[in-house]
Structure 1
Amino acid sequence: MTAILLVPGLLCSEEIFAPQLPTLWPHGPVAIANTLAGETMAEIAARILKDAPPRFALAGVSMGGYLAFEILRQAAERVEKLALICTSARPDAPEQTAARRKMLDQARAVGFERFLNLGADALTHPRASRVKTESF
């Protein structure tokens, strides 16, 4: 069985993968990467690799896909399979990196759940139904 490593996107917790876990478990052990340990993509990827199994199937969502590319750069020989979901192969422009850092700083300052509730309107389409984090 192949170990499976899931990498969530920016401001996502492990909860994003909860619906998929029962389907994935029969295929191998599943781990969800910690994307909060490090300041740069290279540092975060190195930390993920430190905690990862020797070989694994890798799936990254959004910013998790950026990290998947960095994991491949650092240790391609450890990745058996790759799934990229809603991500880009292009690096961030400096403005995108600055905006991402600002968002993370704000989330750290007020707390993750409060930040999500305060910022949900900016992250969702106006016609989308709003789900508060407490429902998870």
Structure 2
Amino acid sequence: MQATLVLIPGLLSDNSVWEPVAALADMPTYFADATKDPSIESMAARVVSETKGPLIVVGHSLGGRIAMEVTRQAPDRVTRLVLANTGHHPLKEGETEKRQAKIDEGYADFAGMIKGWLPPMMAASRHDDTALIDSLTSMALEIGPEVHEQQIKALVNRPNATEYLPQVRCPVLLLTGTEDVWSPEKQHREIQEMVADAELHVVENAGHFLPVEQPDLTAELITNWLNSKEEE
């Protein structure tokens, strides 16, 4: 049975983040929806229940957390795992308060919150890319402050991926940008050390929104890696 490509977006993101990968990949594709469920566990359970057979799971940021949880819930079905700009740590001291402040800011002035949130998520060279920023702003505004709160609370109550990453046996591709201050290279190298078969690519001139900052290169890295694994 042919594997299904599962594409999971991150915080305040939709399918458009992964469309270049879907366009380049020649396989059945399932776009996950990270806006409907209150927890990472239930987001992952939706993916597991709405798909059949083997899965190639690709997640960005929050979507990476969901992708890892899919692998935990259905280890015999996930044949490949791609994690972009994501993390594995449990909740850190002071994180709850910082994230609640961001929720409050979103309800007070969602457009203003997004305006301040986006630039640090991208490489410095992208800060003047009006078209990209406008596109990401429109995407986030469409999703809204209520879903933003739900996703932030899901992150606050996230599973501790460090507890089960060592049990992951499928090949893993890790991607991040040289200018990702939220999920830096060091974090991905820690994940790489925890799993049996992991490859890491650090992309120049990219920040936390790697899949939209460098869409063609991201799609190429993922599809080339998938093809190489088919040949093994």
TM-score, structure 1 as length reference: 0.76
Instruction: Kindly provide the amino acid, as one letter, of the partner of residue 83 in structure 1.
Output: V
Q: Distance in 1 between matches of 2:100 and 2:66?
A: 15
Indicate conservation of the 8 Å contact 2:15/2:31, yes or no. Answer: yes
- Secondary structure of the residue that 1:20 maps to in structure 2? helix
Paired position in structure 1 for 2:18: 17
Does structure 2 conserve the Cα–Cα contact (< 8 Å) formed by 1:37 and 1:47?
A: no
Ranges in structure 2 where 5+ consecutive residues have no aligned partner: 140-232
Percentage of identical aligned residues: 25
For 2:11, give the aligned amino acid: L
Match for residue 29 of structure 1?
A: 28
Identify the match of residue 114 of structure 2 among 96, 103, 119: 119
How many residues are treated as equivalent by the alignment?
Answer: 130
Cα distance in 2 for partners of 1:35, 1:105 equals 21
1:65 to 1:95, Cα distance in 2 relative to 1, 3 A: farther
Aligned to 2:6: 5
Q: TM-score, normalised by structure 2?
A: 0.47
Question: What secondary structure sits across from 1:19 in the alignment?
Answer: helix
Contact kept in structure 2, 1:117 and 1:132, CA below 8 Å: no
SS at match of 2:20: coil
Where structure 1 has 5 or more consecutive residues not aligned to the other structure, the ranges are none
Shift of 1:62: 0.7
1:132 to 127, 134, 146: 134
Q: Deviations over 1:65-86 (max 9, x none)?
A: 1111111121111101111111
Q: Which amino acid aligns with 1:8?
A: P
Alignment of 1:30-45 (within 5 A): 30-45=29-44
